[in-house]
Amino acid sequence: MSDTPSTIQNDEGGPKGFGWTDSAELHKCQDGGGLFHRFKTIRRGTVAELIHFVMDLPEEKREDYAIQKDGDHTIKIGEIRSLYRRSDFPKDLG
């Protein structure tokens, strides 16, 4: 597990890039009670894998999910979309 903030790191201490391979969990919000009401883990993987998963869902389902990244950072749909559009996002995971 990397140190917080785990997404910005390199040997010189300056920003290098986003931690696409950091571990994370995908959660689904249920019962309309807010993000942490019956917060349920759906799957685990890297940040990039989970962003791919969410963006492959039908548009109307995407807001039902959030990614909990190691280091206690929750990535909601707005940030998921922004990260997916970044030029350094790993589009091909295979």
How far apart CA 2 and CA 76 sit, in angstroms, is 21
Per-residue pLDDT of the chain (94 residues; tens, 9 = 90+): 444 444 444 445 544 678 899 999 999 876 555 555 556 788 999 999 999 999 999 999 999 999 999 877 899 999 999 999 999 999 887 6
Q: Are 46 and 21 in contact (CB under 8 A)?
A: yes
pLDDT at 78 (0 to 100): 95
Q: How far is CA 49 from CA 24, 30, 42, 94, in A?
A: 9, 22, 13, 10
pLDDT at 12 (0 to 100): 53
